[in-house]
Amino acid sequence: MNLIIDVGNTRIKTAVFDNSKLIHNESITKESFVSEVIDTIKKYQCTNAIISSVGSLKKSEIAKLHAEINLIELDYNTKVPFVNKYATPKTLGVDRIALVSSAISKYANKNVLIIDAGTCITYDYVNNEGVYYGGAISLGLQMRYKALNVFTEKLPLLEPSEKFELVGNSTETSIHSGVINGVINEIDGIINQYRKKNADLTVVLTGGDVNFLSNRLKNSIFANPNFLLEGLNTILTYNIL
């Protein structure tokens, strides 16, 4: 069994894979991180693990996991199943490395655009020869709402709303219109730009806001909330075989 640990900006996710089949996943808190991971290792008899962290973990916590299981700490030196043409590979986020690896595994020999809509919105492009070139980083939904509140004197902090219109008729509805329509049109616009260069483009949407956004886009996409976890499992398998 493979154990996957994804430490994001706002939460920690763990998953267990039996080969390529996802059999368990959950979100855990940083306070109980080590104890819960060790419980998962024992419960599912995991033998190999990989950890991807864009957040912060103590070295002592990582050391405790190394004592329990064969653990790979994902970084720019880790062997991956694609050719990395990113100009600054040392600065490439481990989450983006995992997403590209997932695309290579699931959509071999295809041009793929991966959109991860979470704290940030990232765009990553890998071509049909397995070469990764890069993409873009933008503000996620929550970050846009917070920015309007933090950088102004009077605009309130709101949460994404299921109901929004093009024309807001109050301050709150205007904020919802600007943020949500802005994100939707940004994503659709970038997909359109990539499709002009790649007629056979496959687009995958993932991340914490995948369910909120997937049915609101005009473009055809594959929605997969577990795409990053699957990519981490791909990297782990690639390194232990």
CA angle 99, 104, 108 (to 5 degrees): 150
Q: Report the C-alpha gap between 173 and 78 in whole angstroms.
A: 46
Q: Report the C-alpha gap between 127 and 152 in whole angstroms.
A: 41
Q: One of 95, 116, 124, 209 is an active-site residue; which one?
A: 95
Looking only at the bridges linking them, the beta strands covering 2-7 and 12-18 are antiparallel
6 flagged as catalytic:
no
Q: If we measure between CA atoms, which residue out of 89, 124, 117 comes closest to residue 103?
A: 124
Looking only at the bridges linking them, the beta strands covering 12-18 and 21-28 are antiparallel
Q: Report the C-alpha gap between 166 and 101 in whole angstroms.
A: 37
> What Rg, from alpha-carbon coordinates, does the chain have?
19
Task: Enumerate the active-site residues.
Answer: 95
